[in-house]
Amino acid sequence: MGVEKPPSPYRPKDPRRACCTFIFILLLLAGITALVVWLVYRPQEPQFTVMGVAIYDLNTTSPPLISTNMQFTIVTRNPNKRVSIYYDRLSAFVSYRNQAITPPAMLPPLYHRKHSTVALSPVLGGEAVPVSLEVANGLVMDEAYGVMGLRLVLLGRLKWKAGAFWSMHYGVYVKCDVLVGLKKGVVGQVPMLGSPLCNVDI
């Protein structure tokens, strides 16, 4: 009779467990690499400035519907010397007293190279928008007074590019409060009372 061998205390490794361990280590290394790249490059927020405003139409004669046609010239600066920015799903609209007075307009994707400046000139409006009576009356009074406070809003998302590495997407919210002078019946470029920087939230 043969002598039976005692069962081996070592069991063969489960290939599924080994695969999961490998994937975990790979993701951990990728996360550490991304963190190191982020700490080395430390991207700064982009800067936006409104450089010009043109008002081609402002019709408040049929409340609660108003229609307007405006063009804003915005300069955006990427202050990063080693990081580029890619924007997509960008939209813009104009608000007055925290209420939109133009429908949102979609803007094309924008690739912002490192340490560069880009100018945008979207034309906003063209369609009637329902507003409150307070907003309609305020527009009429401000137009008669000759000074109007407007807010340009940009919404979308961005991601950073540092070398060969891309970050995840981040939501971006830009608001630019602008005070303009205008005279009833005069269309085109209007004077800006100051040139404030826009607030950028990412």
The CATH topology of domain 44-201 is Immunoglobulin-like (2.60.40)
pLDDT of residue 153: 98
Lowest mean pLDDT among 95-109, 147-161, 176-190: 176-190
Domain coordinates in residue numbering, the chain = 44-201
Confidence tier at 61 by pLDDT (50, 70, 90): confident
Residue 174 · residue 199 · CB < 8 Å? yes
SS3 for the chain is: CCCCCCCCCCCCCCHHHHHHHHHHHHHHHHHHHHHHHHHHHCCCCCEEEEEEEEEEEEEEEECCEEEEEEEEEEEEECCCCCCEEEEEEEEEEEEECCEECCCCEEECCEEECCCCEEEECCEEECCCEECCHHHHHHHHHHHHHCEEEEEEEEEEEEEEEECCEECCCEEEEEEEEEEEECCCCCCEEECECCCCECEEEC
Identify any residues that bridge with 186 across adjacent strands, giving them in sequence order: none
pTM greater than 0.85 (yes/no): no
Q: What is the tens place of the pLDDT at every residue in 92-128?
A: 999 999 999 999 999 999 998 999 999 999 999 989 9
pLDDT of residue 130: 95
